[in-house]
Structure 1
Amino acid sequence: MSEEDILNPPRGMRDIVGVEAELHEYLADVFRETARRHGFKPIITPTVEYFKLFEMKSGEEIKRSMYVFQDKAGRTLALRPEVTASVVRAYLKEMRALPKPVRLYYVAQCFRYEEPQKARYREFWQGGLEVIGDPDINADASVAFAASSFLEAVGVKHYYVVGNVSTYRVLMDKMGVPGETQDLILHLIDKDRVGDALKVLGGVVTGGHVELFNKLLNSGLDEAPGILREFRLLGEGEQTTLEAELARTREFIDLLNQMGFHAVYEPRLVRGLAYYSGLIFEYKTSEGLTVSIGGGGRYDGLTRVYGGEYEYSTGLALGLDRIALLLSPEKAVPRRSLIVVSILEGVPLKAGYELVKRITSGGLAVIPYRARTVSKALGFANKQGADAVVILGRRELESGVVTVKDMHTGMQSTIEAGDTDALIKLLEKHGGRG
C-alpha cells in the first residue's frame, strides 16, 4: 500500500471535518435533546456484536452486506448494520424487569458493505427511538411524533409513507411459502422489483394466488379487505386480525395528518428488515433526496426470536448523514461566540488560564493564544474568525485589568479582570449575543 493510499479512508468511509463535522455534532445533540424531552432514555450498545444476532432476523439484504470477521478465538463477529437487534438483546439481558413500556434512544454508527453512492455510505450514523412493551398505537405515534419534532427543529420538511407488512406475511404463511422465500419476496418488493417478486412467488403457489397478491400490492386501504377475502385462505379470526391491522394503519395515517404531518399509504412499502411485523413507515423529503431519510415500524415478537417472552415493540431510525445532506452547515448550526485570550510575552500561563476559566464559565468558546505582540494576537484571531480578543499583557496584569477588542467593529475597551460577570456580558455583546 502506497503512502497516498494510507492517507485515504477505505472506500465508502469518509473523514468528516470542519463545518460538516460541526453539523453532524449539532444533529446528534439536537436528536438526543429531543429524545430526552419526549421521555426516552439513552442506551449504548457495542459496535461489534456476534454475527448470529443479526443472522437470525435482520433479513437477506442486511446479512449479505455485513462486515463479518473472526476474532483471535475463532468467534464470528460483525460490525453492527443496524441497532434495533442490539437494543432488543440488551433489553433481554439487562432491562426486562423494568416497568413497561421501556423507552430508549441512541445515536450510533452502523456499517454495511454496499456500493457507495450519494446518501449511501459504508459507515453511517443513525438516531433511533425504541419502545418495548406497548401494544397501543400510541407507542407508534409517540416515536413518530418525537422524530418529526427533531426534523422540524433542524429545519427538514418531510412527509410519511405508510404501509403494513403483516398482510403479506400472513398470506404467504397460509400459502405455505417458506420463511426464507418470504424474506426474498419482500426484499424484491422493497427494491421495486415487483415482477421478480411475483415470479418467485409463482414458483411455490398457484397462479390465481399470484394474481391476487399482485392486486393487493396495487390496492388502497379501502380495497384491501375485499381482496383479502378473495384469497379464501384465511379463517375468520385471521381475516379479522388483518382487517384490524389495516384499520390500525388508517388510524396512524389519520393521526399523523391531524397532527399536521402529511402521510400517505403505500401498499408496496415493506422495508428491508425481516423483523418488521405490522405497521411500517418511512420519512421522505422533496428537498433533493429520492431515498428515505429514516423509517421504522412494529417488530412485535422479536424478543421471542432471542429467547425472551413475546413483547410488543415499535421503533424507528433516522439517517443523520442523509439529513446532513439536506442542510447548509453555515445556516443550520447555531453560531457560538468565539473569543481569543491573548497571553502576551512575560505573562505567566497560570494567569492566562485563570482568565480562560472565568470566560468559559459563561458558555463562550475560548482559544488561549500565546503571542509576542498584540498585532500577532490580532492576526491570529482574525484568521480564526474570532468575535473578540481579550488581551492580557504585563501592563494589564499589573493593573488588574484586561483589554477587550471587538474584531467586527474595531472598538476597544478596558475592564477589570476580576469582574467576571461584566467581562462575560461585554464579550457576549461583541459576539452578537447581547
Structure 2
Amino acid sequence: MTETDAIVTLITLFEREGYARIEPPVLQPADVFIDLSGEDIRRRMFVTQDASGAELCLRPEYTIPVCLHHLHRHGAQPSGYSYGGPVFRMRPGESGEFLQAGLESIGRKDVSAVDAEILALALDGLKQFGGPAPVVKLGDMGLLHALIDALGIAPAAKRRVIRAIVSGQGLASLAEPDAPGAQEHAGLLAAIEGQAPQAAKAFVEDILSIAGIARVGGRSAGEIAERFLARAANRTGLPDDARQVLERYLTIAGDPDQAAHAVRTLAKDSALDLDAALSLFEARTGFMAARGLDVSSFSFAATFARNLDYYTGFIFEVQDPRRGDGKPVVGGGRYDHLLEHLGADAPIPAVGCSFWLDRIVGRP
C-alpha cells in the first residue's frame, strides 16, 4: 500500500464516523505557528515572503489551518474534520516533505467522551494496516496545569516549569534565583519572563535600538535578544515544598487506573484539590473501556508531554513496536485554548490527532 492509498483508507474510515474531509491551503501565515506552537517550530519551517514582506510558510502541520477554517465557517458550532496531504517540516534524517492524515473534533463539550473517541479512531485507523498491537503512551497536561495552579506557583514560574518538562530536561534544569549571576540584568529579565517569545524578543530589540546598539561582540541585536530570552527562561521562583510535590508527581507512571490512584494519593498527602482534573481523567478512562479499548495495556507517564505549546489536556502517542527509533506513528491531544488564541471570543473545546504515513506505510 502506498502513502496515497493509506490516506484514502483513513479518510474513508473517518468520513464514515462523521469527520468531513477538508484541505486547507499549503501556504499559511508563519507568525501564527510561531506564536502558538513555540519558537522551536521556526527552525523547522520552510519560510518565504509575499510581495508586501509578510512571512508565509509551507504548512508544517494541519491542526492550526483546520482551526482557522473552522473559525471562518462555523465559529463555536461543533464540527468534525478529517484531512490528508503533504506537510513540510525540516526533520533530521527524514524528508522535509511528507504526507500526514488525521482528524480534529472541534466544539464538542463532552470532553472525556470525545477524547476516548479520538484515541479509538486512531487505533482503528492503524488496524487498517495490520501489524502487532501498538504501544500507547498517555499523558495529561490538564493534570499538570491543575497541580501547578493548586500549588500557587506564579504564572511566569509556571511557564518555565512546563517548558522544562515538555523539553524533557525536568526540574533540575531550572536555575535557582540566588545562583551565581542570577541577579545580573534582573530588571530586564523580569520584564520579559512569561511573555510570548516573539513579543519578548521585540521588546529586547527595541531596548537595544533605543540605546543605539546594533552589534556587541559580533552578535546582532536579534542574537542578543535570543540570549536574554534564554536567560529569562532559566529563572525560577519555585519554592522547595512545591518542587518536592512536582518531583513526586513526575515519578508517577503506570496504566491509567494506577496513575489516577497515585495522583489522588499525592493530592491527599499534599492537601491539594485536584478533584476536577482527576474526574475528567477517570471519566476518560471509563469511556475508553466502554469502547472496548484495553486500558490496562496503555502506559501513562506524568513526564510525558508533547512538544507543542497549545496542548492543554489529554495527550497521546502511538508507537509501532517494530520500529527501533521510538518515533510515534500517531500523536495528538486536546487543545481547548487554541481557537481562542486564533480569534474566537471564548475557549472552544477541541481535540485531534495526526498519522505519520511515511512511518506507517514506509516502516523500516
Give the TM bin, normalised by the shorter chain.
Answer: 0.7 to 0.9
Q: State how far apart, in whole Å, the 2-side matches of 1:67 and 1:33 are.
A: 30
Contact 2:116 2:284 in 1 (8 A): no
Matches within 5 A, 1:44-193: 44-96=23-75, 100-114=77-91, 116-117=92-93, 120-136=94-110, 137-157=112-132, 158-173=134-149, 174-178=152-156, 180-182=159-161, 184-189=163-168, 193=169
Name the count of aligned residue pairs: 293
1:168 counterpart letter in structure 2? L
Change (3 A) 1:175 1:122: same
Which structure 1 residue ranges, 5 or more long, are not aligned? 1-21, 328-434
TM-score by length of 2: 0.73
Change (3 A) 1:71 1:229: farther
User: Which residue of the partner structure matches residue 170 of structure 2?
Assistant: 194
Change (3 A) 1:291 1:142: same
Greater gyration radius? 1
2:16 counterpart letter in structure 1? R
Q: State how far apart, in whole Å, the 2-side matches of 1:155 and 1:79 are.
A: 32
Q: Identical aligned pairs, as a percentage? A: 24
Contact 1:301 1:310 in 2 (8 A): yes
Q: How far did residue 196 of structure 1 move? A: 4.8
Change (3 A) 1:49 1:272: same
User: Which residue of the partner structure matches residue 244 of structure 2?
Assistant: 211
Q: How far did residue 303 of structure 1 move? A: 1.4
1:194 counterpart letter in structure 2? G
Change (3 A) 1:324 1:144: same
User: Which residue of the partner structure matches residue 299 of structure 1?
Assistant: 335
Which structure 2 residue ranges, 5 or more long, are not aligned? 176-232, 253-258
Q: State how far apart, in whole Å, the 1-side matches of 2:173 and 2:26 are.
A: 33
Q: How far did residue 249 of structure 1 move? A: 4.8
Q: State how far apart, in whole Å, the 1-side matches of 2:279 and 2:6 are.
A: 37
Deviations along 1:352-381, one digit per CA (max 9) or x if unpaired, are xxxxxxxxxxxxxxxxxxxxxxxxxxxxxx
Q: How much is the aligned-residue C-alpha RMSD, in angstroms?
A: 2.5
Q: How far did residue 48 of structure 1 move? A: 1.4
Secondary structure class of the residue paired with 1:56: helix
Matches within 5 A, 1:12-51: 23-51=2-30
Change (3 A) 1:121 1:184: farther
Q: How far did residue 230 of structure 1 move? A: 5.0
Where relative contact order (Cα < 8 A, 6+ residues apart) is larger, the structure is 2
Change (3 A) 1:180 1:110: farther
Change (3 A) 1:255 1:211: farther
Q: How far did residue 82 of structure 1 move? A: 1.3
Change (3 A) 1:121 1:187: farther
User: Which residue of the partner structure matches residue 178 of structure 2?
Assistant: none
User: Which residue of the partner structure matches residue 390 of structure 1?
Assistant: none
TM-score by length of 1: 0.62
Contact 1:106 1:128 in 2 (8 A): yes
Contact 2:115 2:284 in 1 (8 A): no
Q: State how far apart, in whole Å, the 1-side matches of 2:130 and 2:239 are.
A: 50
